[in-house]
Chain A
Amino acid sequence: MSVASQPNSSSRGVTVEFQDIEKRYGVRYALRGVSLRIDAGECVALVGANGSGKTTLLRIAALLVRPTKGTVTFRAGSSAAPLAHLPGQQRIGMVAHNILLYDDLSAEENLELFAKLYGLDRPKERAAAALQPAGLINRRRDPVRDFSRGMRQRLAIARALLPAPGLLLFDEPATGLDPAGQHWLGDTLGQLHDTGCTILMSTHGASEAHSIVTRAVRLAAGNLAEDSAPSGDPQRILTAALAAEQGS
């Protein structure tokens, strides 16, 4: 895997390129020969049945999982000057199946910890600034274990946005959110899209962000089955995915 990034770019977005990604667990293939290029600023919906490899692809993009074969390359701005592996991760934010937060620490303490780990200045202020729009500022001193499902998801999203990432990886981000939360998520995604952030979002076809999705990609049994890029219209794939989800 290589990461290439240029420090100053007006657009925040990161280009991600998957080349022949294969992921094997023993003899079982989670991903087979997936090649996909996502340009800076795109908002890509990743659809597919359970077990089709969506989560694996996202985790490979997050550099959490090492592919058995193939490479993932990142580019920021127009040049592709190679950078060390670590700073590349600074520009990646992820919302996963698990909330990635410490139950024993308060919301504030969690965000401060991650702000420090990401090397952000003024971690306390950053944490507070992230809690405000998520509607969690009044519960900031409470331990996360006391939070409801929806609040935990909001905090997980706030955590992902903390380092102002250029690439956002969302694994079914609307899970557990009430309608108000889904509305907030939609607004947040809209704002991020406006700043040029690249978004790769796995979804079952639910509607929270369809307005900003520019492209849809469908995985089936670890293969790249469909890509809306040639036609430019993601709606057909999204509607089909929603129908498949509701039918099953």
Chain B
Amino acid sequence: MALARPTAILLSKELQTEFRTRELLTTTIVFVLMVLVLFSFTFDPTSIESRRFAPGLLWLTLLFAGSLMLHPSFTREQTNDTLAALRLAPIDPTAILAAKILANCCFLLVAEALLLPIFAALYNLHVLPVLGQFSVVLLLGTLALATIGTVFSAISSQARMRELLLPLLLLPVLTPALIASTEATAGLFDEQPYLSLQWVGLLAAFDAIFLTVTWLFGEYLLEE
């Protein structure tokens, strides 16, 4: 497939660059930790309250962290005009977007994996029994954030006030994914844990729909 190979090459480049410096990862993790701890000060949750608020808190925090972390995705390509270098190569321009979406998804998942034990400890949640199902929700939700976030990073990198613009554009569009992820997570941490297939289905649909829209229209964002 003409898309797979260049995506793999570029994905490898993205991962190589980030794991060399790890600046995005460390900053994101520290930010998320700080937010989680600060929130626990502000409302000093009991165990019942934790179960109610923690899912929303987790996803909101990831959303904010993501909107900060996804920002350099395309602003980095403005240095030395490397985006033009990629576009000069005989590859489908959508591969550039696909590689960045996958890379950002990876970074977010790594951050989440490191944060999950801390989060569970702070809010007294029993993650282990539902780990497998929770991973599915995390994966789908993170993919939603990475997809829209990467595309909107391409959008905001071409505008002024880009640091403020990315969260502003991202948050309303991600509303369905935010609700679905939070509700699905809440179900898993309920007293009688259950996996809500409707919410997971909605998340999967969200991902499928927006990956398709990206595939159809994303390349126009890369033009000059």
Contacts and interface: CB of A to CB of B under 8 A. Distances in A.
A127 to B, nearest CB: 14
A184 interface: no
Interface in B20-67: 20-21
A117 B87 contact: no
Contacts of B195: none
Interface in B140-181: none
A118 B90 contact: yes
Contacts of B92: 86
B17 interface: yes
Contact of B80 (A65, A94, A100): A100
Most-contacted residue by chain A among B20, B81, B85 (CB, 10 A): B85
Interface in B61-104: 79-82, 84-92
Contact of B9 (A89, A92, A96, A116): A116
B85 to A, nearest CB: 4
B187 interface: no
Interface stretch (A102-110, A192-200, A205-213): A102-110
Given A104-B20, A118-B89, A96 B84 contact: yes
A109 B15 CA distance: 13
B224 to A, nearest CB: 6
B223 interface: yes
A114 B87 CA distance: 11
A8 to B, nearest CB: 18
A64 B80 contact: no
Task: Give the dominant DSSP class at B's interface.
Answer: helix
B82 A92 contact: no
A71 interface: no
A105 B17 contact: yes
B89 A114 contact: yes
Contact of B85 (A86, A100, A109): A100
B20 A119 contact: no
Contacts of B86: 117
Given A65-B224, A101-B85, A114-B85, A119 B90 contact: yes
B218 interface: no
A59 interface: yes
A102 B82 contact: yes
B36 to A, nearest CB: 30
Nearest to A152: B80
Interface string B99-143: 000000000000000000000000000000000000000000000
Contacts of A100: 80-82, 84-85, 88
Interface of A: 59, 62-66, 86-90, 92, 94, 96-105, 109, 113-114, 116-119, 159
7 contacts: A64-B224, A96-B81, A100-B80, A101-B80, A102-B80, A105-B13, A118-B89
Nearest 4 pairs of A and B residues by beta carbon: A98-B81, A100-B85, A117-B89, A89-B90
